[in-house]
């Protein structure tokens, strides 16, 4: 995790005296595993931490992608060749290094972290899946987009030193992540 921003870091042995922050009822209740990683200032166990880390890193990569793509807009006057080449290198590097939030790594982390969501979450997600229509965003994709939005808001709150808001948003993120895990598991079955 050496090249990751400081809002995601592994805890030292001395810091691993806390338990995981995950506690939302939708996510299976209080996780009592020891903390392993910090994301947005919140301590997570290794399993929940991997899912939170991938979500946070995907949000940062997406934000950078949007910024870099703006510079490639065909309606903007061309950049000089040196900047154009540097931009292409940056975009290529971004695509190679960024975790893919819709990819197998994130799905695996999501399923591991939220393997035991509440029955209420299962029922609510199954009802939503029953209403899913072809040609529209899937339930899983909608939830992943929501997670990305929450991660962006959490990052902004963390950067503004609004710990209370990060904690509140994390509760919502856990609920949505649990729903996403159910939707992901159902898509694997079918």
Flag whether 139 is in a domain.
Answer: yes
Flag whether 57 is in a domain.
Answer: yes
At 2 the pLDDT is 44
At 189 the pLDDT is 80
Flag whether 17 is in a domain.
Answer: yes
pLDDT in tens, the chain (190 residues): 445 557 889 998 888 888 999 999 999 899 999 999 999 999 999 999 999 999 998 888 788 778 777 777 777 776 678 877 887 787 777 667 666 555 788 899 999 999 989 999 999 999 999 998 888 899 999 999 999 999 999 999 999 999 999 999 999 999 999 999 999 999 888 7
Flag whether 3 is in a domain.
Answer: no
Flag whether 2 is in a domain.
Answer: no
State the Cα angle at 140 between 32 and 56, rounded to 5°: 55
At 164 the pLDDT is 96
At 104 the pLDDT is 83
At 97 the pLDDT is 67
Flag whether 1 is in a domain.
Answer: no
Residue 178's nearest CA partner among 136, 146, 138, 131 is: 146
Flag whether 16 is in a domain.
Answer: yes
Number of domains composing the chain = 1
Structural domain for 63, as ranges: 8-189
Flag whether 42 is in a domain.
Answer: yes
d(CA 85, CA 107): 34
At 60 the pLDDT is 81
């Amino acid at each position: 995790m050496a090249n990751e921003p400081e809002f995601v870091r592994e805890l030292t042995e001395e810091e691993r005296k806390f338990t995981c922050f995950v506690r939302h009822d939708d996510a299976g209740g209080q996780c009592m595993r020891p903390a392993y990683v910090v994301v947005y200032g919140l301590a997570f166990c290794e399993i929940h931490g991997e899912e939170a880390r991938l979500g946070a890193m995907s949000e940062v990569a997406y934000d950078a992608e949007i910024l870099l793509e703006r510079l490639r807009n065909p309606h903007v006057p061309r950049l000089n060749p040196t900047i154009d080449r540097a931009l292409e290198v940056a975009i290529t590097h971004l695509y190679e290094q960024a975790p893919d939030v819709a990819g197998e790594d994130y799905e695996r982390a999501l399923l591991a972290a939220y393997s035991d969501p509440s029955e209420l979450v299962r029922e609510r997600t199954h009802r939503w899946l029953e209403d899913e229509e072809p040609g529209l965003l899937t339930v899983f994709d909608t939830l992943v987009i929501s997670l990305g939005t929450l991660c962006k808001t959490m990052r902004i709150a963390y950067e503004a030193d609004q710990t209370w808001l990060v904690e509140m948003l994390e509760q919502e993120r856990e609920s949505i992540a649990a729903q996403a895990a159910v939707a992901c598991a159902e898509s694997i079955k079918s």
